[in-house]
Amino acid sequence: MIDTTRHTAESLFRRPAPEGSNAAKLQDIRARQILRMRERRPVERQQRLENRTRSANLLTLFARKEPAHGAV
């Protein structure tokens, strides 16, 4: 009973296998696309982090400086 339910649930979210003469080519292309996306994610995450820190550094660099307590 549990295996049947799990199998049914997995089949709902599984992409149907392509049919036809180019099915193997399509599966290879999709597999390569998925691999490239997985490889690209950490690089894009690092770039976003660098952009965030760069913009934060620019904001602190150009922020108005408060006068010192003794210098009125």
In a domain, 57, yes or no: yes
Q: Residue 33's pLDDT is what?
A: 95
11-30 pLDDT, tens digit each: 888 777 777 788 889 889 99
The answer to whether residues 48 and 56 touch, using CB atoms and an 8 Å cutoff, is no
Could you give the C-alpha distances from 8 to 1, 12, 27, in angstroms and in order?
11, 6, 23
**pLDDT at 55 (0 to 100):** 85
**What is the predicted pLDDT for the residue at 70?**
63
Total structural domains in the chain?
1
Question: Do the domain assignments include residue 11?
Answer: no
Question: Taking all residues of the chain, what is their mean pLDDT, rounded to a whole number?
Answer: 83
Higher confidence at residue 40 or residue 2? Answer: 40
Which pLDDT tens digit goes with each residue over 55-68?
Answer: 888 777 776 666 66
Domain-located, residue 4:
no
Q: Which structural domain, as residue segments, surrounds residue 50?
A: 21-62
Q: Is residue 37 part of a domain?
A: yes
